[in-house]
Structure 1
Amino acid sequence: MNTMPASESVLSVQGAAKYYGPVRALDGVDLEIGDGEFLTLLGPSGSGKTTLLMAIAGFTELDVGSLSLRGENITNLPPDRRNFGMVFQGYALFPNMTVAGNIAFPLKLRKWQPDAIKARVKECLELVQMERFADRMPSQLSGGQQQRVALARALSFKPSVLLLDEPLSALDKKLRADLQWELKDLHRQLGVTFIYVTHDQDEALSMSDRIVILNHGKILQIGLPEELYNRPKSRFVADFLGKSNFIDAVINGGNEDGFICQGGGERFVVSAPADVAVEAEVQVALRPERIRIADPGEEQFRGVIQQTSYLGERCHMIVEHSGFGDVLVSAPTWKTKITPEIGREVSFGWDDDAGVILAGEK
């Protein structure tokens, strides 16, 4: 598990805990965030991701633990002295100020000179491609335009860290996708540390250098997007980050090719590394897109298609197997070997390196 950033740590969270009565919103969180990293906090509602972001921002006081920025303790430092930019889901623009006025506001608070403010506002407008809208009021802008202004305002005073609390969740799907590209490109240009909160798995996978998965106030796994997706350590991570099939199995043996598993009345091999013993009861996680489907007899296992869902570039099928139960298969429509039809008998299988053993879970 990649728990450390690739670059030098800029922000350190140590033993962070926050309690609301019996609820542990944060429960002993340790986290190192790299200089210039795009780090995403991902988890369901109530997982602690926003509480952690607000603690970093200084809006939420920790009950236990500490925060340090480049080695300096900032645990008790007020928000306005942390030099962190903040972008909210609801934009939080000042409705009585123009676009340029909103961007200039943090600079005036910091007593920048008028000429420097004017130059920096122009620079920030160009950065988010909003030069033509400098004199517009927020009410005259679309949601995507307002979020660009909020981003420019948060970056105007050159913060050391930019905190983003689900900034795209209020936008429609296409606009969200466009702004994801823009945000990632902006991060690359500026080299500022981004700490991004989302509950959207696709957003996290497509944008992040590393992802932190939280649940019930605890960090369950940290790593590169491809690490977390391809090698989840727990059922929760495998189920939350994308979709997975889960097969209850017993380890029958192991060799240089991997582990021999017995589950659902079938035998199969899992070649991924795992710390398990012979006769251990485990669950095997299997991504739907790693499963091949074909006519009967062409693959190892037999089943019957119970449901289909056409998604344009992919087709999802639920295949019933006598031992595995319902197996979700996701196949590219342009290369699917069979015509997906409810009630059709098929065969399916996967490569030995497709499965992941979730040790200790059954």
Structure 2
Amino acid sequence: MTAPSSPSVLSIRKAVKRYGTVQALGGIELDIGEGEFLTLLGPSGSGKTTLLTAIAGFTGLDEGRLVLRGKDITDLPPDRRDFGMVFQGYALFPTMNVRNNIAFPLKVRKWKPADIQARVEECLALVQMEGFADRMPSQLSGGQQQRVALARALSFRPSVLLLDEPLSALDKKLRADLQWELKDLHRKLGVTFIYVTHDQDEALSMSDRIVILKDGLVQQIGEPGALYNAPRTTFVADFLGKSNFLDVEVEGFAGGRARCRAGGESFEVATEAPPAGGRGRVALRPERIRLAPPKGAAFEGAIRQTSYLGERCHVILDHPGFGQILVSCPTWKSGVVPEDGLPVSFDWDADACVFLEDA
């Protein structure tokens, strides 16, 4: 398990949650660092939301402990955990204006009126909503409502902010804009963020570390670049981005390179140690593959299909041994201009492939 770079604020120990015969959490072990932006990433049913609601106190654990700065909070009710929470559906009070929505947690905590007023103004400025204090939630756009929900969750200065897919209801452009704003807000405040999403791009762009979950179990933990470039399993390589998979026979190993054969072709894979037994599986990211005119690179194929995506073009190649290979190339600079049916050659560097543990 990859440890956080800062001292732990929250430790999760052997967390288990069952719903009848279904195990939603299967003994999660996790340390979350002070001031860290940690993302829980996984497909539907992976356990990410169950873990977040267990941290919040809304879901009780069947086994395991939660420890906040050395204090066991496993049985502590949600209102005593000092955690802020932002939901996917905003959860603003429809009969309260923006100012009163933000003030609500402070009134519950019996802050003085003057302190409440000052803190509400601070929070409005923090989320750039100063001119909207007297508006009702129904008078706000989705992005504005989410900003108010953020301000309310931060108003009482929580030690940890929990965010359950807070951007998923927004359109693509607004979601991208708010990702930048959330990351900037995290940098300014230094509060620990625990963020749930099923969106891989969102996780990669915002997080200090990512926890990838499947079937209630941690698959891999690490910094975004480390996870993307060195996935340990087929699931991680396939879920976090796109990958090609080649089952290989290892023919030799020297100088940090394994000589591999797959689909009737030979190529090298940079590795500290090849898999035992002489067989394995490698993941190859589509953007690490180079296209060239015929005879200009190591392997020959033909373009089956192209998909233009603006700044990039996705290309599916047919190769007699590898089968179908996905290539992602920049549209402004490529060895060929992709079009369906075009003969091409292609290759990649030795460090483009990574051996997987579950071959």
Interval of TM-score (by shorter of Structure 1 and Structure 2): over 0.9
Paired residue for 1:325, among 313, 323, 326?
Answer: 323
Q: Is the contact between residue 250 and residue 274 of structure 2 (CA under 8 Å) also seen in structure 1?
A: no
* 1:168 correspondence with 2:167: yes
Partners of 2:344 and 2:73 in 1: CA distance: 60
Pick which of 163-172 and 279-288 moved more: 279-288
Structure 2 match to 1:187: 186
Structure 2 match to 1:355: 353
Structure 1 match to 2:208: 209
Partners of 2:115 and 2:339 in 1: CA distance: 66
Partners of 2:103 and 2:316 in 1: CA distance: 55
Q: Is the contact between residue 233 and residue 358 of structure 2 (CA under 8 Å) also seen in structure 1?
A: no
Partners of 1:272 and 1:339 in 2: CA distance: 33
Partners of 1:41 and 1:274 in 2: CA distance: 30
**1:208 positional shift:** 0.1
Structure 1 match to 2:255: 256
The total of aligned residue pairs comes to 359
Partners of 2:252 and 2:242 in 1: CA distance: 28
Q: Is the contact between residue 271 and residue 352 of structure 1 (CA under 8 Å) also seen in structure 2?
A: yes
Q: Is the contact between residue 250 and residue 261 of structure 1 (CA under 8 Å) also seen in structure 2?
A: yes
Q: Is the contact between residue 281 and residue 360 of structure 1 (CA under 8 Å) also seen in structure 2?
A: no
Name stretches of at least 5 consecutive residues in structure 2 with no aligned partner. Answer: none
Question: TM-score, with normalisation over the residues of structure 1?
Answer: 0.98
Counterpart of 2:332 in 1: which secondary structure? helix
Deviations 1:50-107 (A, max 9, x none): 0000000000000010000001000000000000000000000000000000000000
Structure 1 match to 2:34: 35
Structure 2 match to 1:48: 47
5 Å matches for 1:1-362? Answer: 3-274=2-273, 276-277=275-276, 279-361=277-359
Partners of 2:166 and 2:306 in 1: CA distance: 34
Partners of 1:295 and 1:257 in 2: CA distance: 30
**1:257 positional shift:** 3.3
Partners of 1:144 and 1:133 in 2: CA distance: 13
CA RMSD of aligned residues (A): 0.8
Q: Is the contact between residue 303 and residue 340 of structure 2 (CA under 8 Å) also seen in structure 1?
A: yes
Following TM superposition, the consecutive aligned residue runs of length 4 or more in structure 1 with deviations greater than 4 angstroms are none
Name stretches of at least 5 consecutive residues in structure 1 with no aligned partner. Answer: none
**1:280 positional shift:** 2.7
Deviations 1:277-329 (A, max 9, x none): 2x432111000000000101111000010000111111110000001100000
**1:350 positional shift:** 0.1
**1:273 positional shift:** 3.1
Q: Percent identity?
A: 70
Partners of 1:14 and 1:193 in 2: CA distance: 18
- 1:201 maps to a residue whose letter is Q
**1:274 positional shift:** 4.3
**1:272 positional shift:** 3.0
Partners of 1:146 and 1:332 in 2: CA distance: 37
Q: Is the contact between residue 258 and residue 274 of structure 2 (CA under 8 Å) also seen in structure 1?
A: no
Q: Is the contact between residue 274 and residue 359 of structure 1 (CA under 8 Å) also seen in structure 2?
A: no
**1:179 positional shift:** 0.2
Question: TM-score, with normalisation over the residues of structure 2?
Answer: 0.99
Partners of 1:27 and 1:72 in 2: CA distance: 23
